Structure 1
Amino acid sequence: MANVETTNPATEQQLASYTAMTDAQIDAAVDRAERAHREWATWTFEQRGTVIAAAAELLRREIEELALLITREMGKPVAESRAEVTKCANALDYYAENASQLLADTVYETAAERSWVSYEPLGVVLAVMPWNFPLWQVFRFAGPALMAGNAAVLKHSPNTTGAALEAQRIIEAAGAPAGLLTTLIVTENDVADVTARLIDDDRIAAVTLTGSERAGAAVGSCAGRSIKKSVLELGGSDPFIVLADADIETVVQHAVKARFLNAGQSCISPKRFIVDARVADDFIAGMQRSVSALTVGDPEDPATDIGPMARPDLRHLVAGQVAETLRAGADLIAGGNSVSDRTGWFFQPTLIADVRPGSPAYEEEIFGPVAAVLTFASDAEAVRIANATRFGLGSSVWGADLDRASHIGRQVVSGACFINAPVASDVRIPFGGAKRSGFGRELADAGIREFVNARTWWVNDDASARKGP
């Protein structure tokens, strides 16, 4: 039988080997999830909340072990892994406490004696999740979906199989019915076929995916053929617009932290820094100092700022995008190469300026530790550059004149716009994209209502009561 192997990207040593599931085992897992849903859907919000809150407590209790697993499977510095586990726990607590209110019936005034909309679970949701935030991506979806009464079948990235199994274990240990969150172990070569087969399965009610454009197109088309609800959170090439009246020193601090978190492997990290030409030299100089000061090294060392990239193919792709951008005429300010003097899939923190249209840093998403600086001479030009991408996940605008910053932000097409703050997901507000960054929302009230049946009720006290509009 085929195996799924995980590898430490800092040492290139194998961590674990897992036996991939057969078709029969996958089928049995979906059966268990369906049975778990039928039971779970009868539980009250209070009963479900007790389980989800217990899962949050388990995450906090096991934070060190879980953080180390994340770091060893995908390479982020262990301090970032701890923060991820904490964020998962906080999200679960939020939904445990607020789901009943978020899904409370909505009452409408009509000609009926009583009319309202109830929000009822759909069933088993297939979740196709990425490796870059291996626990957060799972619990960001699972918290609201499970509290709404659904079950979940998880197809995680093979390189974070350990984290996927831990997510399942935590939900079960918290007291959920067996199979409520079920992890499938699937080899990379079989992912496309297994995913398509599951989406077409009548026991799967809906699908959510966080991943690449290519994966989103494949999953979205399968869901469309099966006429099933889908939520897609895809790539981003987020603009970070710096106006001339911004506090450059403060902006640089936020820019570096936002771009180089997780070695730049985040869909919502700013990729294109669009800076007023009048302050561009100061911005670039500040970025150069800060980027050059970042420590690249062992992600288990507390002193490390930048760990390895998650896989060698990802590093190779980023190296090619940087090289092509430089050939197109951009200036290399810092970094620019793979780290060759140590074991592991490391890439230097990189800063590129004077990025030209048509180059990868201008047109594509660079999913790695690379910041690209572009300049503008007018607000209209800033908006044009910001929108010159097929993506529309997040955007941010920085400046002292909030009315001007907001006016510019309104003209940029994105699922979120942050003024004087880096884009981030927060459990209290909806999150999602526009254009080819996907559709649907996660988190908050919009997120928890994605995987429910908004069911309309029209009730008259007796047959002689008034009916119809």
Structure 2
Amino acid sequence: MASLPFTLNDPSLLHEASLLNGKWVQSRSGKKFDVEDPGTREVWASCTNNEVADVDQYVETSYSAFKSYRQVNPRGRAKILLKWHELVTQAREDIAKIIVYETGKPTAEAIGEVDYALGFAWWFAGEAERIRGSIAQPSISNRRTLVIKQPIGVSVALVPWNFPVAMIIRKVAAALAAGCSMIVKPSPETPFSVMALADLALRAGLPAGVLNVISTDNTNTPSVSERLCKHPLVRKVTFTGSTAVGTIIARHCSEGLKKVTMELGGNCPFIVFDDADLDQAIAALMILKWRTAGQACTHANRVYIQSGVYDAFTQKILEATQKLQVGHGADKGTTMGPLTIGRGIEKIEKHVADAVRKGGKVLCGGKRPDNLQGYFFEPTIISGMTSDMLTTNEEIFGPLLGLYKFETEAEVVEKANDTSMGLASYCFTRNVSRTWRLLESLEAGMIGLNTGNSSGAENPFGGIKMSGYGKEAGKDVAIEEYLIQKTGTLTTSIKSDGNKDSNGCQAPRVGQLTSPAPL
């Protein structure tokens, strides 16, 4: 291991290996890939690089572990999750440091991600004991219908790099609570934070093989992911990432009819009406645009401002944005770090050039800072945005904020919905009737009403349209993604005296037709 640019309270949490059946192992080829600090572009560690030939052993050991773990009672699963929660809490500073050097996030954001992620471990520990079946009396009197719920089996989580800890705990905790085993394939940019979480899960008492983690570089990611999706022992896949890649994953999973959860891209509108509390809207937008340097699918992609407050709002967001301190995530005072990957800068430059060419005005930013070596781009605000610009039609995923002017509610609803995406929408107004109308008329899976914070362990997370399907977090719905239902039909005994069933009702004679005829 190379000399780290930071120190950990518990250095044993950093693993340059994959987790297979409770052991830290290298790939069969022995090859590794480098992980660089986005804030300096310097390599600070290397991780084992698995290939397709390595995949089957991860699935087979996961399946073997599932057969025994599924028998662990719900309280036993809950205790493991609560212990995991406790250990991650104790290690939050170490995990946050790893996040900073993997993603580039400022330290405060990294710690915030760990705290946010912990909510999912706590929540699903409770959900483990709340899985319920049902029993009912059907239309045929001497029958009873029973529905039981059981874990679906080996699950696979394919995750990106922008929230490596939060997304892993959200997915893994749900699977473990349901009684499933899981294989995680982390992003090549962020393997070490995921390995640290897996280490703590083992320490919490999770049996070997119930959680396997297989690391790859960008070159091997497509083929390894495909094999995981198509493996006959895998029954469930949960994917977070772009819509383009999600479409490919769904195609892979269709071959074995896998159950799939898709949390895909967004093109989220942020609407500010004339009667809004502008300070409240500004505070929400500062988080929804600049946190993680704009690299989140739920971030505001198009900011629509009603004409009566357009100038005032523009001035306020400009003043607030100019106070941001761009720098390395580990530096004291940094409030916005670098982008995680270099190609993100090229995309932002393309969007800025397109907007300016079509009449947009750059109010601040618009370029790479001269004094920083990492993947940095200045927080950029462009006014005068129009519907024909790239930023209107593509997910930005970077520190670019475009301002659009609108006149009426009907107009802005039409513009907000004019996208193939449907992850989240945000609106700010003091008009209660309008709030209810927007909740129903905006086409998104999550609607922020006078708030930019729509995500939490208690809330179902997921989109509609091309932003995916299925839900993560929330009561009942998320854990259902890892369960199957079995219907049992029970015929009760029939009394021999008189032709009555056990409820005293007339039972059909042999050969007698009834309506409706039972199947």
TM-score w.r.t. the length of structure 1 is 0.96
What is the aligned partner in structure 2 of residue 223 from structure 1?
253
Return the letter of the residue paired with 2:105. K
Matching of residue 156 in structure 1 with residue 186 in structure 2 = yes
Matching of residue 361 in structure 1 with residue 391 in structure 2 = yes
Shift of residue 304, structure 1, vs aligned partner: 1.0
Q: Which has the higher helix share?
A: 1
Return the letter of the residue paired with 2:132. A
What is the aligned partner in structure 1 of residue 3 from structure 2?
none
2:50 and 2:220 in contact (8 A); partners too: no
What is the aligned partner in structure 2 of residue 448 from structure 1?
479
User: Of the candidates 49, 56, 65, which is equivalent to residue 78 of structure 2?
Assistant: 49
2:51 and 2:220 in contact (8 A); partners too: no
Question: In the aligned structure 1, how far is the partner of 2:134 from the partner of 2:266?
Answer: 34
User: Of the candidates 20, 27, 46, which is equivalent to residue 56 of structure 2?
Assistant: 27
Q: Which region of structure 1 is more displaced relative to structure 2, 401-410 or 279-288?
A: 401-410
1:79 and 1:302 in contact (8 A); partners too: no
What is the aligned partner in structure 2 of residue 199 from structure 1?
229
What is the aligned partner in structure 2 of residue 129 from structure 1?
159
Correspondence list, 1:45-444, <5 A = 45-101=74-130, 103-110=131-138, 111=140, 113-444=143-474
Shift of residue 17, structure 1, vs aligned partner: 1.0
Return the letter of the residue paired with 1:42. Q
Shift of residue 130, structure 1, vs aligned partner: 0.7
Shift of residue 190, structure 1, vs aligned partner: 1.7
- Structure 2, unaligned stretches of length 5 or more? 1-28, 496-500, 502-506, 509-517
- Structure 1, unaligned stretches of length 5 or more? none
Matching of residue 8 in structure 1 with residue 37 in structure 2 = yes
What is the aligned partner in structure 1 of residue 17 from structure 2?
none
Structure label with greater radius of gyration: 2
Q: Which region of structure 1 is more displaced relative to structure 2, 420-429 or 7-16?
A: 420-429
SS across alignment from 1:139: helix
Question: In the aligned structure 1, how far is the partner of 2:311 from the partner of 2:51?
Answer: 58
Aligned length: 468
Q: Which region of structure 1 is more displaced relative to structure 2, 294-303 or 278-287?
A: 294-303
What is the aligned partner in structure 1 of residue 5 from structure 2?
none
1:397 and 1:409 in contact (8 A); partners too: no
Matching of residue 459 in structure 1 with residue 490 in structure 2 = yes
1:396 and 1:423 in contact (8 A); partners too: no
Shift of residue 327, structure 1, vs aligned partner: 1.3
Question: In the aligned structure 2, how far is the partner of 1:126 from the partner of 1:92?
Answer: 18
What is the aligned partner in structure 1 of residue 22 from structure 2?
none
Q: Which region of structure 1 is more displaced relative to structure 2, 163-172 or 410-419?
A: 163-172
Return the letter of the residue paired with 1:76. K
Q: What's the CA shift string for 1:130-187, capped at 9, x where partnerless? A: 1000111111111111100111111111010112212221221111111211111122
State percent identity of aligned pairs: 28
1:406 and 1:419 in contact (8 A); partners too: no
Shift of residue 24, structure 1, vs aligned partner: 4.1
Shift of residue 113, structure 1, vs aligned partner: 4.8
Shift of residue 29, structure 1, vs aligned partner: 1.5
1:263 and 1:307 in contact (8 A); partners too: yes
1:392 and 1:413 in contact (8 A); partners too: yes
Shift of residue 423, structure 1, vs aligned partner: 4.1
Shift of residue 416, structure 1, vs aligned partner: 0.9
SS across alignment from 1:273: strand
Shift of residue 462, structure 1, vs aligned partner: 3.3
TM-score w.r.t. the length of structure 2 is 0.87
Return the letter of the residue paired with 1:64. E
